[in-house]
Amino acid sequence: MTDRDVISTHGLSKRFGERVAVEGLTLAVPAGEIVGLLGPNGAGKTTTLRMLAGIIAPTSGTATVNGLDPATAPEKVHESVGFLTESPGFYERLSAERNLAYFAAFYDGIDAKAAARRGLERMGLAGRAGDKVGAFSKGMKQRLALARVLLHEPRVLFLDEPTASLDPEAARDLRELIVSLKEDGRTILLSTHNLTEAEELCDRIAVFRTRLVALDTPDALRERQFERRMRVRLAFVTEGWLAALRAEPFVRSVEREEDGALNVRLVDPDRDRSRLVARIVEMGGQILEVREDERSLEDVYLSLIEKAAP
Amino acid sequence: MRRRVWNVVRMEWAGIAATPSSLLFLAVIPALLVGQAIFLSWIVPRFVNPAILGPGGGSADSFRLLILKQFPFFVLLIPAMIANVFATLSIVEEKVTRTLEPLLATPVRTWELLVGKIVAGAVPALLVAWASAALFTAAGFGLGWGPLLRILFTPTFFLSMFLLMPAVSLMSFVIGVIGSSRASDAKAAQNLAVVIIFPIFALIAVQVTGLVEFTPLRTLFLSLALLAADGLLLRAAVRLFARESIVTRWK
């Protein structure tokens, strides 16, 4: 942990009776970073967010958020963080503005009505301020929930599956809002099942299955999990060429795939890519396509989760 | 601190005001109870056999007075019935609408939330009960029972109205909120609500059967004991409000 870390946990664990929900989580998130929690259902993502937000207490281990311990000073933590719960949850018979003003009035030193209006404007809902929340679409409710989370301008946000069950357009809008929150310098811990979203939004990804399986940038996770490969498609291939390529010092292996393309592992993909192309051309090969065979985050995730399976 | 309690109170009232059925309930139940009390006080003495009043019998007025004397206890049912609906649903409804977790993520303390919910229900219930008593009295005078009602206006009556009733009203709501926070669903919460009404029926039974005569001193002691019990129950309510299991076990 460093002075820059605004969220840190050490051996954080939670049991519900015999069931272990989170086991020995050690994590540090510096200011201004978005970390995504990825994991299957029941992996402990929501439990982790709830512990950090001071909603439930850990069974063992410690956590600090903004220098405060959520287990011993939950109300202080609530004052300094925003927690977007999995379900938006509003008083549907009341207006959007009344709902926001209600939640805002729990924070000291806030003009609740002004905060509510500001929140509605920020989320593009000012025109619907007086409408009952029951008439809102899922996307609007989720935006309203995000407005609620930001009422007291917290610097740390816990977002639990923010785009779950939203249509693609609403999900995209919400992702843009999350990006703008990061640009404001907020620190965000985000749980999601959406791997594309995780890759798009997060600086680092924590793959989670009760315990932390891996924590790194998406690229680093890829590299760690899968060796980088070049995929080369030629007009035709001879056995002689294959043997010649395998003999090159910068080539670690060459495999021929079912569709005829070559799968080439290089010693240093960034440095040796051009040398590979030059050598094939020199041998008289007609290159139709050369690209790095990128593994998706889904491949990385599934591979990690499979390895972590009990 | 007070601001947060007041915030909960205002929100609860806004919720009631936005629900026509709640407003209707607040108006109809007391009206039915008062109407029933007036009707019984009017009709029963007309058909009663004077012999049941004991050796030598008695007048219809003395029988009517006997019935009227039950009213201060009968009216205690009003806050209990209102609590039955509002208090028992207070926390369960937050669970159902999924507003409880966002609420618990704010700096609101458990006691602030519970006191807000209790006050928000108990105050209108008390006002409705007092309005019902006023209505009953006005109707009684209108029906020419003035002399009987004057006999009824003893210190016990006033202690019952202004000390016992608030104590009972608070207790009804505290018990209702405890039931609501412990119940697994709305139906279970309402089943628990019978606990609220039962002691009041017991109080009425004790009064009607004449087992205990409620003198001013007894009424005062009973009221103070109930107020003390309200304080203890409120502390229990805060302890029994298990944030963790409410958040994690509610489906």
- Chain A environment of B108 (Cβ under 8 Å): 106
Interface ipTM above 0.90: no
Average confidence (pLDDT) over B182-197: 74
Of A10-24, A35-49, A137-151, B38-52, the least confident: B38-52
CA atoms within 13 A on the CB side of B223: 20
Averaged pLDDT score across all residues of chain A = 90
- Using the predicted structure, report yes or no on whether residue B197 has a pLDDT greater than 80: no
Contact call for residues A13 and A20 (beta carbons, < 8 A): yes
What's residue B88's pLDDT?
78
Note whether B100 contacts A92, CB cutoff 8 Å: no
What's residue A181's pLDDT?
92
CB of A72 within 8 Å of a chain B CB? The answer is no
Average confidence (pLDDT) over A8-20: 93
What's residue A203's pLDDT?
94
Average confidence (pLDDT) over A277-291: 91
What's residue B80's pLDDT?
83
Tally Cβ neighbours within 10 Å of residue B202. Answer: 10
What's residue B61's pLDDT?
77
Contact call for residues B23 and B31 (beta carbons, < 8 A): no
Tally Cβ neighbours within 10 Å of residue A142. Answer: 26
What's residue B41's pLDDT?
84
Tokens representing A156 are: 């740390």
Average confidence (pLDDT) over A238-244: 89
- Using the predicted structure, report yes or no on whether residue B1 has a pLDDT greater than 70: no
* Cα–Cα distances in angstroms (integers) from residue B181 to residues B84, B171, B190, B192, in the given order: 14, 15, 12, 11
Minimal CA separation from A79 to chain B, in Å: 6
What's residue B50's pLDDT?
65
* pLDDT above 70 coverage of chain A, percent: 99
pLDDT, tens digit, 9 for 90 and up, residues B210-246: 777 788 999 999 999 999 999 999 999 998 887 887 7
pTM: 0.83
Tokens representing A301 are: 């995730």
Q: Which residue has the tokens 């680092």?
A: A204
CA angle B115–B196–B165, rounded 5-degree value: 70
Of A84-93, A157-166, A195-204, B66-75, the least confident: B66-75
Torsion angle of C-alpha atoms B73, B79, B80, B84, degrees rounded to 10: 160
The alpha-carbon radius of gyration of chain A (Å, integer) is 24
What's residue B250's pLDDT?
59
A with B: how many residue pairs have Cβ under 8 Å apart?
Answer: 74
- Chain A environment of B14 (Cβ under 8 Å): 94, 98
Which helix (H) or strand (E) covers residue A271, if one does?
Answer: helix A269-283
What's residue B94's pLDDT?
87
- Using the predicted structure, report yes or no on whether residue A1 has a pLDDT greater than 60: no
Minimal CA separation from B106 to chain A, in Å: 5
Euclidean distance between CA atoms A226 and A297, whole angstroms: 11
Averaged pLDDT score across all residues of chain B = 84
- Chain B environment of A115 (Cβ under 8 Å): none
CA atoms within 13 A on the CB side of B48: 21
What phi, psi does A33 have (nearest 5°)? Answer: -100, 150
Note whether B108 contacts A83, CB cutoff 8 Å: no
What phi, psi does A264 have (nearest 5°)? Answer: -115, 125
Nearest Cα residue to B131 out of B57, B1, B227, B26? B26
What's residue B57's pLDDT?
52
- β-bridge partners, A204: A35
A169 class by beta-carbon count within 10 Å (0-12 exposed, 13-18 middle, 19+ buried): exposed
Nearest Cα residue to A62 out of A166, B77, B86, A73? A73
What's residue A298's pLDDT?
81
Note whether B18 contacts A94, CB cutoff 8 Å: yes
Euclidean distance between CA atoms B104 and A56, whole angstroms: 10
Task: Indicate the DSSP class of residue B162.
Answer: I
* pLDDT above 90 coverage of chain A, percent: 63
- Chain B environment of A49 (Cβ under 8 Å): none
Q: B15 pLDDT band (50/70/90 cuts)? A: confident
What's residue A94's pLDDT?
93
Minimal CA separation from A242 to chain B, in Å: 59
Read off the amino acid at residue A141: K
- Using the predicted structure, report yes or no on whether residue A220 has a pLDDT greater than 70: yes
- Chain A environment of B116 (Cβ under 8 Å): none
Of A17-31, B30-44, B60-74, B106-120, the least confident: B60-74
What's residue B55's pLDDT?
59
Q: Is the dihedral of CA A115, A121, A122, A125 positive or negative?
A: positive
The alpha-carbon radius of gyration of chain B (Å, integer) is 20
What's residue B193's pLDDT?
67
**Distance between alpha carbon B228 and the CA centroid of its chain, in Å?**
17
Which has the higher per-residue pLDDT, A101 or B183? Answer: A101
- Chain B environment of A83 (Cβ under 8 Å): 102, 105
pLDDT, tens digit, 9 for 90 and up, residues B16-63: 888 888 888 888 888 888 898 888 888 877 777 666 666 555 677 777
Enumerate residues 112 to 171 of chain A having a beta carbon within 8 A of any beta carbon in chain B: 112, 145, 148
pLDDT, tens digit, 9 for 90 and up, residues A49-99: 999 999 999 999 999 999 999 999 999 999 999 999 988 899 999 999 999
